[in-house]
């Protein structure tokens, strides 16, 4: 990731000082490993307010317009099973 911004509005540093910046970010990775819950589907997607994955009945995904637009715009990829399941076949 590259973050670029103008630092012209920062106050000048004293001689010998160094400015450090800190980026606080949250990210999620939905594991595609076949022995992970819901590994072969796109949903349910992780979201910030959930207490565990997969989300339980008490966990509600956002329902606002911004989240629906995010789903419509970015969650359009198909799910692929790249690693065969280790579970025995269910016959």
Domain positions in the chain:
27-76
Tell the residue number behind the tokens 């001689």, with chain if given: 15
42-69 average pLDDT score: 87
What pLDDT is attached to residue 66?
A: 92
Q: According to the model, what pLDDT value does residue 79 have?
A: 60
Assign 78 a pLDDT band (cuts: 50, 70, 90): low
Distance CA 53, CA 87 (A): 20
Residue with the bigger pLDDT between 42 and 67: it is 67
- In this prediction, residue 88 carries a pLDDT of 82
């Amino acid at each position: 990731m590259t973050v670029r911004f103008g630092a012209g509005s920062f106050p000048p540093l004293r001689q010998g000082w160094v400015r450090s910046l800190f980026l606080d970010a949250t990210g999620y990775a939905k594991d595609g490993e076949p022995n992970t819950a819901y590994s072969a589907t796109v949903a349910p997607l992780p979201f910030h307010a959930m207490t565990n994955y997969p989300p339980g009945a008490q966990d509600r995904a956002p329902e606002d317009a911004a989240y629906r637009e995010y789903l419509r715009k970015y969650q359009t990829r198909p799910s692929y099973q790249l690693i065969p399941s280790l579970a025995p076949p269910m016959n």
